[in-house]
Amino acid sequence: MRIRVLVVLLFLAAGAYVSHARVESAVLPQRALSDFPLALGEWRSTGQVFFDSETMAVLRPTDYLVRLYTNGAGRRIGLYVGFHGGGKGAGAIHSPRNCLPGAGWLQVDSARMDVPTPAGAVQLVRATYAKEAEGSVYYYWYEVRGETMTDDMDLKLAELRNAVLYGRRDAAFIRLDVPVHQAEGADADVAAFIAQLYPQLRLFLPR
């Protein structure tokens, strides 16, 4: 842990030095997320949400996608992809470890998972949150230039490394959610969904 903190401090110092000589470039997705496929294997989009101006002012994504996908058995998975392109005035990714408890959600459990896909394994966090009579199982990860990660510090390190080496600080946050009453069998549903999702996602997020 101490080594990781020292590495972060070194990157921060290097980033502060480089920022005087280099302007970080805003990065766009390879394709607009609104063009993301409506069908992923057996899963079909059955709804899409658009943020209001207040939510956009808080999250400040460069591009985003909020959709509900359902399969033939009626099981559903909510999808959120938030891409933050960096550059002047860009918003940072909001960690669910802070945002959900701050909104009154209690974390019930949390574990890490590796999900194999045709485009490579995805490292993610599986966490159950409850608020009064509501509950959801969340599956989420961060992505920086094709690398998936689950830890907030790893995200910061990846962003700083890219800022120092390439003059860019873009990153993405991907979250799936399943209602708690659908928790039984949710891991299998999500693994099958991600196997279809991830190869497509790599065509949209910059490398």
Query: Residue 164 carries which side chain, given as an amino acid letter?
Result: V
Q: How far apart are CA 33 and CA 65, in angstroms?
A: 6
Express each pLDDT in 131-179 by its tens digit.
988 899 999 999 999 999 999 999 999 999 998 998 899 999 999 999 9
Instruction: Check if the beta carbon of residue 135 is closer than 8 Å to that of residue 180.
Output: yes
pLDDT at 20: 45
Q: How far apart are CA 206 and CA 53, in angstroms?
A: 26
C-alpha of 200 from chain center = 15
Query: Residue 28 carries which side chain, given as an amino acid letter?
Result: L
Each residue of 38-58: b (16+ CB within 10 Å) or e? eebeebebeeeeeeeeeeeee
pLDDT at 1: 58
| β-bridge pairing 134-144 and 122-131 | antiparallel
pLDDT tens over the chain, length 207 residues:
555 555 555 555 554 444 444 556 789 999 999 999 999 999 999 999 999 999 999 999 999 999 999 999 999 999 999 999 987 777 899 888 888 888 889 999 999 999 999 999 999 999 999 998 889 999 999 999 999 999 999 999 999 999 899 889 999 999 999 999 999 999 999 999 999 999 999 999 998
By three-state DSSP, how is residue 88 classified?
coil
Q: What percent of the chain has pLDDT over 90?
A: 73
Instruction: Check if the beta carbon of residue 69 is closer than 8 Å to that of residue 40.
Output: yes
Cα–Cα distances (Å) from 206 to 26, 40, 95, 202, in that order, read: 12, 21, 21, 8
By three-state DSSP, how is residue 166 classified?
helix
Instruction: Check if the beta carbon of residue 35 is closer than 8 Å to that of residue 65.
Output: no
pLDDT at 143: 97
Q: How far apart are CA 199 and CA 117, in angstroms?
A: 8
The token pair at 27 is: 């990065």
